[in-house]
Amino acid sequence: MRAEPSRRPAPAAATAAAGRWIRRPQPRPAARLRLFCLPHAGGTPALFKHWPPLLPDWIEPLMVCLPGRENRLDEPLPEDIPALVGQLAGAVRPWLDRPWALFGHSMGGALAHELTQTLIDQGLRAPEQLVISAREPPQCHHGGDLHRHDDDTLCAALTALGGTPPELLALPEIRAIVLPAVRQDYRLIETYRPDPERPPLPCPLTVFRGRDDPDLDAEEADAWSRWTDADFRVETFPGGHFYLSDAPGPVIARLSALLAQ
């Protein structure tokens, strides 16, 4: 049986980082596992706002907030994905005093994969589970140049994916807040050049996808199997790219069952 983790409070360094990189909506100091949640391009921890009350008490949700949103609007994003992941790894490390897992949606899936690789390369324990949501594997990276297009084109793409009400994107004041982070995130992910030759991870890897997601088909979801030496599976839910917002209950139930293993 796995040894029980210590129940000491989060380290002081982790507490300091919580106000910037990590949101802790429901502190659970007795939880035996920490779940880091990373949102999509332009996304905020609000993507997971319905999750804490649905998760069992033994899981503590920690929501990642990247620069350029919420109380970090005046902070620029790093120049590329490796630099961003390096900073994020430093913020996450103090929270790894007990078993942990990662859930990354869309761009957050790419970050979650890179973050797991980075932390393992630094000699830290692997996560209990890596869950990649609505994101193609590195060898199928789509790329793109949407970040170079005008605001109307960017808004049209966001509307097509769902997740952002089009009536909000029609408001100039909302565009002024939302689009800079979206554009910068798209720049990062579209110019991202993953290394398809990196070794597979030693942890279980699960892919979550919406059945009607235009950005991740079944074949690409299956191709994530190359990235783990442990258990692999694909879970498909009704809905599109933002299936997890349409019906969070079944998603949380399946995620909780995976983590319980």
DSSP assignment letter at 54: G
CA separation, residue 11 to residues 17, 58, 94, 141, 260 (Å) = 10, 19, 6, 37, 25
From CA 91, how far away is CA 213, in angstroms rounded?
Answer: 31
CB atoms < 10 A from the CB of 212, how many?
Answer: 13
Q: Tokens 């995130």 identify what position?
A: 185
Contact 103, 38 (CB under 8 A): yes
From CA 207, how far away is CA 113, in angstroms rounded?
Answer: 11
From CA 157, how far away is CA 42, in angstroms rounded?
Answer: 13
CA 251 from centre of chain = 14
Q: Which of 64, 55, 112, 66 has the alpha carbon at shortest distance from 248?
A: 55
Q: Give the residue numbers annotated as catalytic, written as ranges.
A: 106
Contact 47, 40 (CB under 8 A): yes
Indicate left, alpha or beta for 205 from its phi (over 0: left) and psi (-120 to 50: alpha): beta
Give me 181's structure tokens. Answer: 């982070």
DSSP assignment letter at 252: H
